[in-house]
């Protein structure tokens, strides 16, 4: 094989970035070697995730570098160990032609950039799932990258490419701009994300280069066969419509709008609905459900393994996905929920709670209502209940 994948988090560890990286491998359909970090104690393990890339992963190295998502020293350690492994495999042959790295997490791009110092002929594809140097609330994400041998070597390579290295010592700015200057292809999940990230770059020539090599590529849709690989025991009450939500909650993404809408429905319509929430965060959610008197109509469950999630998603009548709420924080919503791609391959209808102008608003949803608009959500629930 001639492809190397660098993903700090990769299956069997449970993380959205790991899942998308594995789906990219399956989407490309080429055998790969994988370098990842050992995430024991930081991410749970789901062996079923290894089915996504399957036999396309030929060799795999789990590095035992210190696990830290923001520390420059841990990025440096991961990249040093990873380059040693990559060059050893490269010497054993066949020589690599391509390297793909994905961030989150930032260390992936540091390793790929460091590898290019030894193998400048490699074709580097760098994917950004979200902005690295911006938090979800719009603030700058910071972590100090002290001046040292690695930073100086990367700076020299950026200058050789014809660009100025960052003037500050923010590790996330360094990872972004080194990738912008050196990668042959830059993958973004949506155009708003690209625009936001380019707004932070002061060098117009670097912006022009990024836009020249940028590729907008939403998360891959899993093939249909992955939805039927498991058959989890989870009975669904006959004669009613089942709505499923799978995934974590965040400050910008919650369930209060849907719960308020469900509580507002006339009882005869509510009786036709059951909402299933698999989040692994049941305590607070159960309190919210009880406060609204919705225990009969809402069922909570654990965060599921990926293949169990896909199987149950295909059994639901409607799947719920919600935008992050970014109004007042960003000019345009830069996030595309990764759940959309998993839902899109399920065969079930998809209901999106969308923010105006977001990328999710533009995808082919079956049902939609505005984020934080309980009345509109109630109308959608009523239409589902009526069939």
pLDDT value of position 280: 75
Would you state the structure tokens that stand for residue 24, as one six-digit string?
């990219």
* Residue found under tokens 């060098």: 203
Give the pLDDT of residue 59. 97
For position 285, what pLDDT does the model report?
86
pLDDT at residue 284, rounded to an integer: 80
Question: DSSP labels for 200-214?
Answer: T---HHHHHHHHHHE
Q: What is the pLDDT of residue 1?
A: 58
Task: Please check whether the two domains, 3-216 and 224-386, share a CATH topology.
Answer: yes
Residue 277's SS3 state is strand
User: According to the model, what pLDDT value does residue 282 have?
Assistant: 66
Is 71 in a helix, a strand, or coil? coil
pLDDT at 56: 97
Level-2 CATH architecture, domain 3-216: 3-Layer(aba) Sandwich (3.40)
What are the Cα distances from residue 334, in Å, to 107, 174, 273, 351, 379? 22, 20, 33, 20, 27
Q: What is the pLDDT, as a whole number, of residue 279? A: 87
Residue 21's nearest CA partner among 42, 7, 31, 38 is 7
Tens-binned pLDDT, residue by residue, of the chain (387 aa): 589 999 999 999 999 899 999 999 999 999 999 999 999 989 999 998 999 999 999 999 999 999 999 999 999 999 999 999 999 999 998 899 999 999 989 999 999 999 999 999 999 999 999 899 998 888 999 999 999 999 999 999 999 999 999 999 999 999 999 999 999 999 999 999 999 999 999 999 999 999 999 999 999 999 888 999 899 999 999 999 999 999 877 654 668 999 999 999 999 999 999 999 998 766 688 899 999 999 999 999 988 889 999 999 999 999 999 998 888 888 889 889 989 999 999 999 999 999 999 999 999 999 999 999 999 999 999 999 998
Share of the chain above pLDDT 70, in %: 98
Span 176-225, pLDDT tens digits? 999 999 999 999 999 999 999 999 999 999 999 999 999 999 999 998 88
Question: How many whole angstroms separate alpha carbon 164 and alpha carbon 138?
Answer: 25
Write down the pLDDT at residue 247: 85
The predicted structure's pLDDT at residue 163: 97
Task: Give residue 97's pLDDT.
Answer: 97
pLDDT number for residue 249: 73
pLDDT in tens, 98-132: 999 999 899 999 999 999 999 999 999 999 998 99
Domain regions of the chain by residue span: 3-216, 224-386
106-118 vs 171-182: helix axis angle to the nearest 10? 50
Give the CATH class of 224-386. Answer: alpha beta
Question: Is 118:96 a contact under the CB 8 Å cutoff?
Answer: no
């Amino acid at each position: 094989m001639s492809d190397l994948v660098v993903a700090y988090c990769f299956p069997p560890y449970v993380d959205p970035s790991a899942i998308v990286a594995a789906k990219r491998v399956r989407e490309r359909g080429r055998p790969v070697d994988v370098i990842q970090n050992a995430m024991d104690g930081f991410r749970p393990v789901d062996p079923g995730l290894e089915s996504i890339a399957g036999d396309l992963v030929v060799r795999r190295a789990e590095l035992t570098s210190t696990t830290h998502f923001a520390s420059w020293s841990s990025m440096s350690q991961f990249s040093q160990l990873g380059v040693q492994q990559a060059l050893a495999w490269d010497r054993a042959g066949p020589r690599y032609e391509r390297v793909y790295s994905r961030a989150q997490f930032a260390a992936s791009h540091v390793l790929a950039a460091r590898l290019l110092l030894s193998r400048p002929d490699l074709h580097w594809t760098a994917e950004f799932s979200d902005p690295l140097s911006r938090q979800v609330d719009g603030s700058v994400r910071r972590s100090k990258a002290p001046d040292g041998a690695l930073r100086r070597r990367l700076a020299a390579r950026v200058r050789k490419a014809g660009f100025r290295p960052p003037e500050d010592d923010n590790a996330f700015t360094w990872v972004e701009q080194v990738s912008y200057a050196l990668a042959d292809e830059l993958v973004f999940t949506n155009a708003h994300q690209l625009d936001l990230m380019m707004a932070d770059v002061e060098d117009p020539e670097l912006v022009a280069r990024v836009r020249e090599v940028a590729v907008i590529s939403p998360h891959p849709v899993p093939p249909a066969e992955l939805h039927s690989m498991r058959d989890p025991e989870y009975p669904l009450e006959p004669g009613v419509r089942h709505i499923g939500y799978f995934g974590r909650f965040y400050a910008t993404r919650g369930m209060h709008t849907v719960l308020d809408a469900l509580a507002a429905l006339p009882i005869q319509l509510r009786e036709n609905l059951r909402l299933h929430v698999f989040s692994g965060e049941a305590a607070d959610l159960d309190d919210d459900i009880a406060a609204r008197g919705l225990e009969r109509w809402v069922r909570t469950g654990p965060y599921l393994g990926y293949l169990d999630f896909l199987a149950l998603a295909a059994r639901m009548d409607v799947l719920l996905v919600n935008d992050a709420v970014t109004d007042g924080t960003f000019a345009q919503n830069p996030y595309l929920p990764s759940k959309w791609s998993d839902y899109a391959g399920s065969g079930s209808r998809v209901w999106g709670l969308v923010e105006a102008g977001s990328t999710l608003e533009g995808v082919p949803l079956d049902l939609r209502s505005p984020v934080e608009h309980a009345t509109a959500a109630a109308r959608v629930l009523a239409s589902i209940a009526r069939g």
